[in-house]
Amino acid sequence: MRLGIIGAMQIEIENLKKHMTNVKNEEVSGVTFTIGEVEGVEVVAAVSGIGKVFAAICTEAMILKYDVDQVINIGVAGTLCDELGVMDVAIANQVVQHDMNTSALGDPVGLLSGINEVYLPADKGMCKKVASVAKEMGINYLVGTIATGDLFLTKESMKEDIHKNFGAIAGEMEGGSVGQVCFVNKVPFTIIRSISDGKGAAMDYATFAEKAAQVGIDIVVEYIKGM
């Protein structure tokens, strides 16, 4: 079993490296991949960079170069629902790209042309296991749709629209892209998002991003222990 772990920013991966042994680094397509073991499980970890294109480059390189069996994308997100507040966790049972819009051609908003899907399902077994870990850790979590787009969501009206249109519980900038690459490559994936910003948006993010990112790392380490 080889597990791929992707984060958008350094803070989302750096603390994971503290749990890794037999570590080596390689660069592929401008992305530094850290290869090692966590609790006896082979792990390939990488910082993708922010946004959908960077996330896609990282995921495709990870799958093709390192032949990972599963991909977990960790990171932070803004809440899109009342049930999740700062430091809570959103777990995707599916992902959607809210900024994909060819509706002028008669398509539903969010449709991924070429694969003709709006929602891409996360792996049910991985999702269930992550949820079980979060529950055991006493973390408030919610399983649902995570929405991805290339913009930081600051306006409440925009958040409300995404929640209304897609039923999304959290919004971020990479998960849908990771999910799309995994989907076309037939690699099981799950997305874990620690809530770093609520109503305060950018102010909350600046305060809580690093702490929220650590929550995701803690969940992943416990997930690996159970593999």
Contact 94, 119 (CB under 8 A): yes
**Is-contact 60 68, C-beta < 8 A?**
no
Please give the helix or strand (H or E) that residue 203 lies within, else none: helix 202-225
Q: What b/e string do you get for 96-124 counting C-beta neighbours within 10 Å, with b at 16 or more?
A: bbbbbeeeeeeeeebbbeeeeebbbebbe
Tokens 């966590």 correspond to what residue?
38
- Alpha-carbon separation of residue 1 from 38, 154, 159, 197, 224 (angstroms): 12, 39, 38, 34, 11
Catalytic residue among 123, 197, 210, 222: 197
Q: Which of 12, 60, 123, 204 is catalytic?
A: 12
Strand partners, 144: 92
Q: Is 197 assigned a catalytic role? A: yes
Instruction: Please say if 174 is a catalytic residue.
Output: no
Which residues are known catalytic residues?
12, 197
